[in-house]
Structures are given as C-alpha cells and as structure tokens.
Structure 1
Amino acid sequence: MSSRRSYGSYNDGCAAAHALDLIGERWTLIVVRELLLGPKRFADLQRDILGISPTVLSQRLRDLEARGIAVRRTLPAPARVDVYELTPWGSKLEAVNAALSLWAVDSPDLPWDADMSPDTLVLAMRAHARADAGSSAPARVVLRLSDSRIAGADPVTYTAYVSHEGARVEQESPAGPIDAEVDATTAGWKACVLGQAPLADMPDVRVTGSMAAVEALLRATGMESAAS
C-alpha cells in the first residue's frame, strides 16, 4: 500500500480530495489549461499566463511532471527546444476545466471585463460546443485570434467545424476548403461568443467569406444559447 503525503495533503481517501492534492495548488490548473490544446515552451506559458513568476511556473511544471500529469520533451531538429505537454491522463482534465467553466458562469462575481488568452477562449467555446440545428450544411471556419492583453501578439490559428450533428474547435490550420475566416482580437471575439454581441458591432472582428457559417459557429458555441 502506498503511503499518503502528509505535508500539503488533505490526507483524505476521497478521490476528489486527492484530485485537489494533485491540481488544487494556486496556478496549477491554469498551467494545465494552457497545455490542453497542445505543447508549449516555457516562454509561451509565461507569456500566456499573466501574473505568474518564472519561479512559480517552474515549480508547478516540476510538480505536474512528478505527478504524471505533464511531461517535458525536446523537439527534433531544427527546433531543438524543450516543450511541455500533458500526458493522456493529464489531457482528461479538459473535462474538469469545462465543468468548472460551465459552473462558474452563474457566479455573480465573474469578471466579465477581464480578457482571456486565445487558448482559454477556444476552450470556453469547446466547453459550450453543441450541434446547431439551424445548419443546413456542415461549415468550416478558420479563426485567427490575437491576444488583446499583449501588444503586437501574433495570432493563433484554429479551425472550427459546425453542423447539425455537433461542433468542435481545434488548434490547427485547415486541410481542405473553408467557408469563412475570422480575424479577431480575443476581446472582440469574447464579446461575440460569451456576450452575444452582434458581429456587425465589433470593429476588431473581421469576417471573410460566409457570414452564415460564422453565425452558425456562434450559435453552436455561444454561452447564452447553450443555456436556452
């Protein structure tokens, strides 16, 4: 029988309490969240998680590695840089992140005016993703999101798929034809996805191609319509 940790542990046989032993420390789940869509370098994580110090980030990554939640590996040449990524077990935490997101939107203290990283905003879309009954045909939309929190931030590319059967958003460049492209800041796109702001009212959201495809994506990932 393995021994329980005494320092910093709830020393509780409940699996939920053990989960908090693993990921309940400040910043840990935020670091996990930023790795859910794919591997990142240390510098990428420090850029995307505003407010975390290099020392704390290093410690949280070491803890995640020690607990089997994340691993560090070196990319092959010519990159040859270290990246951190979640293990298959660690990747299952997306369901936890989604459940927390769906639960917390009812909080009266949710900081609606606070901005989000591109990955965080896309994870919110994935948490709310569902079928769009109004879609007459499947649509593929390319999203290029620039972090509003960081001046001159390079856009991150995602591809969204929506139909009457379901919706999903992946961090990838599209393979094959697309129906529309969206270039937006995270602040502008958040207002559309989470605040249901009309696209026409958002000057920092530019749509190229089928507006109907983009509107279908918003119906399939927008927070308010998810509750209706």
Structure 2
Amino acid sequence: MVSRRSYGSYDDGCAAAHALDLVGERWTLIIVRELLLGPKRFSDVQRDVIGIGPAVLTQRLQDLESHGIARRRRLPGLGHIDVYELTEWGYGLEAVNTALSLWAVGSPTMPFEAGMSPDTVVLAMRAHARSVPECTSERRVELSLTDSRRQGAQPVTYVARMSTRAATVVRSLEPEPTDAQVSATTQDWKACVIGGVALERLPNVRVSGSEDAVRQLIGATSLNRSPGSTLVAEA
C-alpha cells in the first residue's frame, strides 16, 4: 500500500496542515471521536465505527499511538484485556470535533436522518451544552442509550449534570443518585436533541423521575437553544 505524502514533505509549515498529517486519514477522526468519552477495547471501537475493517482499524490505532495521540493500556486483573485511550494531548481533539460539528450542521447536505453511536449522540449534546439559569442547585439525569443501528445492542449509560454554570454529559462509571432516568434508542434521542422532536411524539423514550429535570437537560444540550439559555465552555 502506497502511503500518502505528508504536507510537511512539501515544505508546508502550517500547523493546520501538520494537524491533517496527524489525523487527516480516512477514519482517524472517527476513531478519535469514539475514544473521547473514555477507553475502549479494539472490538468496541470496531463495533461502534460501522464500516471499518480490522486491518484499517489496526493501522489507524497504530498511527495514533505513534503520533502520541492515543495509547494502548492493559487493564489490571485477570483476562489480559487491552484498551485504547487518548492521551491528555489527544483529548484536546474534542474541541476540534466540536468545532467541526458546529460548522457542519449548517451544511445543506447534512444527513440528519443517519444513525449515530451512543457516544456520538452524547458528544453532539456536549458540543451544544450550555448553562441552565433556572437550576438553583445541580440537577442530574441518568441517560441510557441503545444503538439503534445494531440489533441486540446493549445500552450505554451516561450521567448529565446541569447547573447555572454549565451542563455536561459523561459516561457513567458507577451508579449515583439522579433526579431522573431516561432510556431511549439513539435514533429517538437524536430526534429529540438534534431534530427538535417533542418527547410526547417519541413514545419509545422512557422517562422516570423528574420530567422537569429531563426537559432542562434537553433545553441545555439540544441543537436549538431554549429561551434564556447561555452557551458556556465546559469547566
């Protein structure tokens, strides 16, 4: 396989050109996207990035390792399970993913009906996240998303936190008290937070606990801003 010449090899010293040398190959930023919320096994990445073959995934992960963007780590305990995770520098690519997302939603050919992995939906929510002025104290919502692109997919759980300062959504590592719980497919939840479809029109989205907290979450992380919300940088 013939490798692509780097922009640097053409005496191009632009930092943006160098960034493309690092992450500009097909699939590379998509793999990074799937690691932004935490480590994953090789099989997890291949499962979530539909269409990538194992040989290409192996090469892209090796490239990310060689550039210092990602690393492979063996989990403690029995089983000898290896995971891939971003380095501290690699996590800086979330800002790039956010900027690309915010820019791309203005495209006249944006495939709004296409599917998304659970992490990708959550990253879209994080890209649009803003504070909730009416939250006098922090509100928490457990969000359980099932990948609608795959039959038999297991749900992935996240916790959203909202306050007057910021709103964010992170992968849940252990159970914690929340004001509400939401269970949905990625297709339905995307229709809500990106497509603007009201919860009442999505009967397969199950809500328990505080409906007010869930509506605050939607208002704080949807593509279309709710009145009175303020865009903020995540702390």
Structure 1, unmatched stretches of 5+, are 1-5
Partner of 2:184: 184
Unaligned runs of 5+ in 2: 230-235
Instruction: Report what 1:156 is aligned to.
Output: 156
Structure 2 Cα separation of the partners of residues 198 and 26 of structure 1 = 35
User: What is the number of residues matched between the two proteins?
Assistant: 223
Give 1:139's aligned residue: 139
Moved more, 214-223 or 173-182: 173-182
Contact 1:131 1:166 in 2 (8 A): yes
Give how far 1:78 is off. Answer: 2.5
1:37-52 mapped onto 2 (5 Å cutoff): 37-52=37-52
How far does residue 164 in structure 1 lie from its aligned partner after superposition? 2.1
Give 1:150's aligned amino acid: R
Is the Cα contact below 8 Å between 1:138 and 1:163 reproduced in 2? yes
Q: Deviations over 1:42-89 (max 9, x none)?
A: 100110000001111011001001111000111111242111000101
The separation in 1 between residues aligned to 2:52 and 2:175, in whole angstroms, is 36
* Aligned-partner SS, 1:152: coil
Q: 1:10 corresponds to which letter in structure 2?
A: Y
Aligned pairs (5 A) from 1:173-212:
173=173, 176-212=176-212
Q: What's the secondary structure of 1:224's corresponding residue?
A: coil
Matching of residues 1-228 of structure 1 within 5 Å: 8-11=5-8, 12-173=12-173, 176-225=176-225
> What is the CA deviation profile of residues 113-165 of structure 1, one whole-angstrom value per residue up to 9, with x for unaligned ones?
10100000000001111102233442100000000001010000100001222
For 1:156, give the aligned amino acid: V
Paired with 2:112 and 2:103, the residues of 1 have a C-alpha distance of: 15
Q: Letter of the 2:34 partner, please give it.
A: E
Q: Is the 8 A contact 1:159 1:174 kept in 2?
A: no
Aligned-pair Cα RMSD in Å: 1.6
Match of 1:3 in 2: none
Greater CA drift, 37-46 or 195-204: 195-204
**Which secondary structure does the structure 1 equivalent of 2:22 belong to?**
helix
Partner SS state of residue 183, structure 1: strand
- C-alpha separation between the residues in 2 aligned to 1:80 and 1:115? 33
Residue 8 (structure 1) shift: 1.9
Deviations 1:99-124 (A, max 9, x none): 10011010011001101000000000
Q: State TM-score, norm by structure 1.
A: 0.94
Distance across 2 between alignment mates of 1:226 and 1:37: 26
Deviations 1:189-213 (A, max 9, x none): 0011101111111022100111000
SS of the residue aligned with 2:130?
A: coil
Q: Are the structure 2 counterparts of residues 68 and 94 from structure 1 closer, same or farther at C-alpha, using a change threshold of 3 Å?
A: same
Flag as ranges the 4+ runs of structure 1 deviating above 2 A: 133-138, 173-177
- Letter in structure 1 aligned against 2:110: L
